[in-house]
Structure 1
């Protein structure tokens, strides 16, 4: 265990459980003097506060200390093609204030990021906190992102964003670390944090206009060499053979199972449908053709997930995005194929379920991204010296 500074003590206390100095000494192996000096640094930062004393065992009661998530704030933004959700959270990831507003990603990075900054400043005024209380900013964008630099990489629906230095631009307003990732990755982080904190091997699948996934393996979000890990919508599937995808290739899963593709299939059958939301409305109204189309999309997605199950061996697959709002029909199709085609050993403990966090997953995940960076033990040690 790295017990070299205050950051390690805070990592222990972040579970919310109050502990005495003796408790912390027993966990870390540090002496009482070392524990006290590290706690003093955390107390000065306000990140740890005293709580009511533990029950006496005959001697003097021992003062307990606990993590203080309200000491600072994280800023979070989940930016979609036509909207953005912007929030302030405490250091536990709990949302303090959140708004969703119309915002076209196609307006370009300066206009979008200026609007986000203005919204965050308004949130700070509402909660009566200074900008200095923000420890980091997390942003999710609807396209590939090189996470190490925060720069979008050839995003198909984001004109003007390719290679744009998002962190540097945002730091002109908020001089703190700025973490940027694609929208499905932050949804995976948010879903895990709110509903599945003990799941270390899971896939979050978003099925909407496009299809993408966030992969958590061994408790760590996997981004890959160029930040495109989880871009499963462009895996080839048999039923899509010869069908053109918007990426320029053929046979992509997205070309037959994405929201617009399902809607196009329904239009061929005389139904009015353009978007994934139109498909969901038809399903909810009981339209049999729409129900069958969504079920088939689930089967096609299951063909792709069958490969992922064999490769990654997750214990959980969570399905979100607008098309997942069609009830159990999409999930049923996915389960049908995955459980039939994957090996019994890979699926014996596999749970495939619909997202329970819903639209909140993205902004929660953006907050988690910011918090985990800011409170990493080695960074906190630097702050406390």
Structure 2
């Protein structure tokens, strides 16, 4: 693939503006690009040529003629580069190769316990990633970057896990450096729920700028989209709702060391433990969801109660954050309407009518792919932003 040299300092914003205009997939003429971006036609011509050389833009079918030669049209080229997107779960790895609009080209799934430690897990990630790239007919030279979602707190600036409760041996581990050294591409790491929130928003709710994504699985967490952007907070732990203490949480011990946390009451692991204690075998949140779908009354009651507990925390968030959509994902969300019904019951009861007038509370539409789609968008949006686009065009 042909590359162009580095952009001078001034043109970066203009090049990014042209690229942003065509990323919706609709071909445009240079005149249309000039009108949309406010750039001079000569400037647009220069920027288009740079993007054509990079492969990020391609020539499309000519536009309609108004009497002379039909004008040339230009469109975004999603196939110019690929992205590796990785979802590391408590007990699984899901890896996808995507194009530059986040569409999955190929993917793989493996059972893998995160407690095996960072080196074992990440070596497996790199092995599977290399085989998926080969299967898709691409290689590491085509990589725009690698995005990874981890099931624990991550310091966003460094990409290192920070005291992750279910990830022994991962604290402070240089995840980006380990993967980058093996696959040779920029590697970004975030909490898996942030990746899910981003993936859900970009693929299904792009016109809803304020969204809360709740992952209800072994544990409980949330990701926040504010003004269309992922909100991480000052240390990257915004949305950690699983460790909000419930009024009726009693003395339920939480893995964080406190008692009465939402996760200790309503998380999949807590519900599975209660069912098992009552003689109903359940090891995971998926087991709990399957029992509820099958009509197990104890499972249905506990899942519905978990929804009410989650709704108790979300009711406060709705009043404070005022989202227009709340998306419920994770293993427990597969229990049919039981979990979401409990959430809706409490949120609509306790929140102000104005805050809930246009509020949708729905099950995840992205499903199992939410995290890998979000991990891909994390890479794409960074690489194509004005600050980083010159790096891409210089390679």
1:185 maps to what in 2? 194
SS at match of 1:30: coil
Residue 214 (structure 1) aligned with residue 219 (structure 2): no
| 1:156-206 CA distance string (max 9 Å, x none) | 111221111111111112332211001111111111122112121000001
1:96 is paired with a residue of what secondary structure? strand
Matches within 5 A, 1:222-371: 222-371=231-380
The answer to which of 261-270 and 170-179 deviates more is: 261-270
CA distance in structure 2 between the partners assigned to 1:45 and 1:126 by the alignment = 24
Kindly indicate whether residue 37 of structure 2 is the aligned counterpart of residue 33 of structure 1: no
**Deviation above 6 Å: which 4+ runs of structure 1?**
none
TM-score (norm 1): 0.96
CA distance in 1, matches of 2:378, 2:235: 18
Output the CA distance in 1 between the equivalents of 2:378 and 2:232. 13
Aligned partner of residue 248 in structure 2, secondary structure? helix
User: Does structure 1 conserve the Cα–Cα contact (< 8 Å) formed by 2:222 and 2:241?
Assistant: yes
Which residue in the other structure is 2:77 paired with? 68
1:104-150, Cα deviation, whole Å (9 max, x unpaired): 22222122212111111111221222311101100001110011111
CA distance in 1, matches of 2:126, 2:165: 24
- d(CA) in 2 for partners of 1:30, 1:283: 58
Residue of 100, 104, 110 corresponding to 2:109: 100
Give yes or no for contact 2:13–2:386 (8 Å, CA) kept in 1.
no
1:269 Cα offset (Å): 4.0
Report what 2:133 is aligned to.
124
Structure 1 equivalent of residue 20 of structure 2: 11
- Kindly provide the CA deviation profile for residues 207-244 of structure 1, in whole angstroms up to 9, marking residues without a partner as x: 11100001101111111122211110110111202222
Structure 2 residue aligned with 1:22: 31
Q: Pick from 55, 59, 64: which aligns with 1:50?
A: 59
Please say if residues 306 and 337 of structure 1, whose CA atoms lie closer than 8 Å, have aligned partners that are also in contact. Answer: yes
How far did residue 247 of structure 1 move? Answer: 1.2
Q: Secondary structure at the match of 1:6?
A: helix
For residues 284-305 of structure 1, give each alpha carbon's deviation from its aligned partner in whole angstroms, at most 9, with x where no partner exists: 2212222122111111111000
> Judging changes above 3 Å, is the alpha-carbon distance between structure 1 residues 255 and 4 closer, same or farther for their aligned structure 2 residues?
closer
Inter-partner Cα distance in structure 2 for 1:125 and 1:5: 35
CA 1:103–1:287 in structure 2 vs 1: closer, same or farther (change >3 Å)? Answer: closer
Tell me by how many angstroms 1:266 deviates.
3.0
Give, in angstroms, the shift of residue 258 of structure 1. 0.7
Distance 1:374 1:40 in 2: 19
CA distance in 1, matches of 2:113, 2:179: 18
**Worse-matched range after superposition: 258-267 or 202-211:** 258-267
TM-score normalized by the length of structure 2: 0.94
Q: How far is the alpha carbon of 1:3 from its aligned partner?
A: 7.3
Q: CA deviation at 1:278?
A: 2.4
Instruction: Report the 3-state secondary structure (helix = DSSP H, G, I; strand = E; otherwise coil) of the residue aligned with 1:122.
Output: helix
Q: Is the 8 A contact 1:150 1:181 kept in 2?
A: yes
| Structure-1 separation of matches of 2:136 and 2:279 | 51
Judge conservation of contact 2:206–2:228 (CA < 8 Å) in 1: no
Give the structure 2 partner of residue 168 of structure 1: 177
1:329-375 alpha-carbon deviations (Å, 9 max, x no partner): 11011000000000001000000011121111111111111111111
SS of 1:255's equivalent? helix
> RMSD between aligned alpha carbons?
1.5
* 1:311 Cα offset (Å): 1.2
Q: What runs of 5+ residues in structure 1 fail to find an aligned partner? A: none
Separation in structure 1 between the aligned mates of residue 385 and residue 100 of structure 2, nearest angstrom: 12
**How much does 1:268 deviate?**
4.6
Structure 2 gaps, min length 5? 1-10
The answer on whether the counterparts of 1:3 and 1:30 sit within 8 Å (CA) in structure 2 is no
Cα deviation for residue 57 of structure 1 reads: 2.0
Aligned residues: 384
Give the secondary structure class of the aligned counterpart of 2:179.
Answer: helix
The separation in 1 between residues aligned to 2:313 and 2:32, in whole angstroms, is: 48
